[in-house]
Amino acid sequence: MGVDDRSSRLNRSSVPGGRRRFLRLSVGLPVGLSGWLANGCSSPGSGGSTRTGAGPDPTAAAGDAIVVPKVNGGMNVHSLRCLSCAPTDETIDPALVALQLSAVYELGFDGIRIAAPFGDRNTFLSTVAYVRAARAVGIDAVVLLADFSGFTLAHALHGDESRPTVLKMYADVLAIPPEPTAPALGGLGPKGVGRIAFQILNEPAAFLGLPPDVYVQEILNPCFGDLGRIDPRIIVVSAAEVGNKAGPARIRAMLEAGLETTTNRIAYHIYERDVIPLLPSHVRAVVWVTESGVAGIPQHLPWVRDVFPEIRAQLPDVLRIFYYDLFDSDQGVYRILDIQPAGEGYRAVVESTELHDYWADKVGAAAAGRPLVGFSTLIPDVRAYFPTPADAAAFDEAFAEATR
């Protein structure tokens, strides 16, 4: 219908139906799935693997093994915390967190992008687990400060009184670096853990009705200032605009409104090949493509194999691309894998097998035959990274103050 039909998928995520409150996992994997899900999906002591295929084998214990080489860029992850539970249900199923993060780690991604909605308390808190655990294994976390619906967060970030409160809460809960799970994780944060980045809203014209110049001047600029005072280690990422032909004009309007001086990273979304030459090829900042993907499984591999290099070639400022996405509820569109109940746990079923194998092969090639440390070796129990009562209290306090 409109120009924004291919706007960001991240704000549209929904959790598919299924089971809830599983504390154990099963690992019945289909043929063709590489080994990265084997141990990664297992709860402690669940044993066995049905790994097949030619991918890397990140099952070795620490010793001469290396952490999985981070060679495949970034991945968009939804903070799935339970299947079919009510929004008011506070359950965070550790198996689901471990399942997605092990996939990200073992497929060699160096960053995740994940939403922490201010208007959805339980999802926000589940994001805490993803962010802390990812960073603990050396993976950067780009936290998207955006609501799935409504204007709660945008309104709070616009207000001069509420904005510092909200941003401080985000920083206090999400930005403190965890202890590394092993030496030489390869992350660029303290002690080799992953860095933290805050992306300020998502596709503001499409999802919030914020014109580009208004977004830069009334939202991003004050957020950038506040975050610099709160914690200068937080990388501020501007919102991207829609990844179709309506996007570049909005990005340009942001740039002409001063975008380069109000953020640490500029973000683009690219969902159409024709958009690439329309985006500014030289800006005075590092560019992250925080969403890029294509609908339809047969197109997945060509998109990553052919279009990603095209993006980097035509937009030299692009240093990182986050594929969209690891898992969502729409079969056969963007996601790489499906997550299904299996026994008392879950299993991951790879849908985009060609793309998965392409990534797995790159990891294998980078490992050069060396054994890889498995995710479950690094993080035997992901609950260690779950939000604490103090985190929940901080959220509640900030929410009450911002919405007063």
Partner 1 sequence: MTSLPLLLLLCFDPNPPASATPSSGVEETTPPETLRYPLGALPVPDFLAPGEPFTLTDILYGLDDQDGTRHSFAARVRFKDWGYLGAETEGERRGLTLMTHRVNAAVFSENGTWDFSGGYRGHRFLLSADALLRGPGDRTWQLEPSLSVLLTSGLELRGRLIADTAQPGPDRRLVTDSGVGVLWQRGARLEMLGEFERSYSTIATGDENQTDRGALSVVAQVGRVELDGQGSVQDVEGRFPRRDYDVAVQARVPITTRLLLEGGSENRIEKGAGELFHEYRGALTWYGRRFTLPRSGRVAERAVALARHAWETGEYELAAFDDDAIRAQRERLSLSGRRPDYREDMTSLYRAQVAERPLPLFGLEGRQTADSVSGETVRVASVFFGVPWPPSLPWRARESSVPFLQVGYQHEWHTTASAIDFRSGVDSMSVTTSLSREMDLVVQWSRIQPSALDVIRGVGVHQRFAASCVFARGR
Catalog residues that contact partner 1 under the rule CB under 8 A: 2-4, 7-8, 11-12, 149, 151, 154-155, 158-159, 203, 205-212, 214, 216, 218, 245-246, 248-250, 252-253, 255-258, 260-261, 277-278, 280, 282, 284
Q: Which helix (H) or strand (E) holds 352?
A: none
Taking the alpha carbons at both ends of the chain, their separation in whole angstroms is 37
Question: Which residue is listed with tokens 């201010």?
Answer: 118
Between 47 and 316, name the residue whose CB sits nearer to partner 1.
Answer: 316
- Residue 268: strand pairing partners: 289
Q: Other C-beta atoms within 10 Å of 79: how many? A: 28
Residue among 57 and 203 whose Cβ is closer to partner 1? 203
Q: Which residues pair with 198 in a beta bridge?
A: 143, 236
Sign of CA dihedral 296, 75, 356, 45: negative
Nearest approach, Cβ of residue 259 and partner 1 (Å): 8
Q: Is 181 left (phi over 0), alpha (psi -120 to 50) or beta?
A: alpha
Question: Nearest distance from residue 363's CB to partner 1, in Å?
Answer: 35
Structure tokens belonging to residue 83: 């299947």
Query: Between 274 and 397, whose beta carbon lies closer to partner 1?
Result: 274
Q: How far is the CB of 74 from partner 1 (least distance, A)?
A: 22
Minimum CB–partner distance for residue 295 and partner 1 (Å): 16
User: At closest approach, how far in Å is the CB of 139 from partner 1?
Assistant: 28
Give whichever of 247 and 387 is closer to partner 1, judged by the CB atom: 247
The amino acid at 169: M
Nearer to partner 1, 159 or 296 (CB): 159
Asked whether 134 and 104 are in contact (CB, 8 A), the reply is yes
Tokens 């998928």 belong to: 9
| Nearer CB in complex with partner 1: 250/300 | 250
User: 21 or 245, CB closer to partner 1?
Assistant: 245
Cα–Cα distance, 115 to 257 (Å, whole number): 26
CA separation for the pair 379, 387 (Å, rounded): 16
Helices then strands, counting H and E runs in the chain, come out as 14, 10
CB of 238 to partner 1, least distance (A): 14
Report, in Å, the least distance between residue 206 CB and partner 1.
Answer: 4
Residues 6 or more apart whose Cβ sits within 8 Å of residue 282: 316, 317
| Residue closer to partner 1, measured from CB, 190 or 258 | 258
Q: Is the Cβ of residue 59 or residue 292 nearer to partner 1 in the bound state?
A: 292
What is the closest distance, in whole angstroms, from the C-beta atom of residue 222 to partner 1 in the complex? Answer: 13
Angle between helices 162-170 and 221-230 (to 10 degrees): 50
Q: Is 2 helix (H, G, I), strand (E, B) or coil?
A: coil
Query: What does the longest C-alpha to C-alpha distance in the chain come to?
Result: 58
Phi/psi at 342 (nearest 5 deg)?
A: -150, 115
3-state secondary structure of 362: helix
User: Nearer Cβ to partner 1, position 251 or 355?
Assistant: 251
Q: Residue 14 class from Cβ within 10 Å (0-12 exposed, 13-18 middle, 19+ buried)?
A: exposed
Q: Considering the complex, what minimum distance in angstroms separates the CB of residue 211 from partner 1?
A: 4
**In the complex, what is the shortest distance from the CB of residue 104 to partner 1, in angstroms, rounded to a whole number?**
26
